[in-house]
Amino acid sequence: MPIINVEQFDRDTKILIWHILENDLFFIEKLLPQFREKRNWEDMRPKRKSEWLASRYLLQLGLPSGLRVKDLTKDEYGCPYLPKEKIFCGISHTENYTAVVLSKNRVGCDIERFKPKIKRIASKFLTDNQLEWVQGDKELAKMHLIWGIKESAFKTWGKRNIDWKRDILIDPIKSVDYRGEISGQIGSQQVEKITYFGHYLYHPQFVFVWTKET
């Protein structure tokens, strides 16, 4: 079973990461008992289908006993949650990996493989101070970390129309280790602001970030 990580962070927050080595049939066989009436994946394109199947299976593994991933729905902004128990879900994909986080708080996550091309768009999401911070040692890892924090915070916030440089604030990160804590604030004058807290985790192939509203 290619689970990379399962972590019960606190009583209400659980994190799971899966390395997708199986074909779609493996996940379909696991999920079919819940989706006999409506097979949501049938009209999806191959990549989307594989991601959807793997993430739903992973979510089911993480849900408390008695809850079904079939009951997952989305709010007006497309953020997934289970209304019966008010469990919020964060879902993210990268090449051959999927990650989820479940919490009683609004939550989000991001998993990203390391790719040098992120440097081309760095000025679009990094502030001047952040551009200075990423320079030098671990430049690529730091860029992906900032991107992951902002992506995860954006999903946690759950709204639209935000300036990624001005409206997503990250508290100072003193050093980049194997894993660490993160925090900050997201929102604008027009839309509610929230504070967030979370963790990051470095893997040889990717960086994973999760955040939840505090």
72-119 pLDDT tens trace: 998 887 889 999 888 999 999 999 999 999 999 999 999 999 999 999
Question: Is 38 or 180 the better-scoring residue by pLDDT?
Answer: 180
Confidence band (pLDDT; 50, 70, 90) for 190?
confident
What is the residue type of 83? P
The strand order across the sheet containing 13-19 reads 3-10, 13-19, 97-103, 87-94, 80-82, 73-74
Average pLDDT, the chain: 93
Q: Give pLDDT, residue 67.
A: 94
* Range from 7-11, 36-40, 152-156, 188-192 that averages highest in pLDDT: 152-156
- For residue 135, give both structure tokens: 């320079």
Closest CA to 143 of 162, 163, 115, 166: 115
Which long-range CB contacts under 8 A does 34-42 form with residues at least 24 apart?
34/60, 34/68, 34/69, 34/70, 35/70
Closest CA to 24 of 2, 60, 49: 49
What's the pLDDT band for 176 if we cut at 50, 70, 90?
Answer: confident
State mean pLDDT over 43-56. 94
- CA separation, residue 62 to residues 1, 6, 112, 117, 138 (Å): 15, 9, 21, 33, 33
The confidence score (pLDDT) of residue 81 equals 94
pLDDT band at 1 (very low <50, low <70, confident <90, very high): low
Domains parsed from the chain with CATH numbers: 3-109 (3.90.470.20), 111-213 (no CATH)
* Whole-number percent of the chain with pLDDT over 90: 79
**CA 10, chain centre distance (Å):** 17
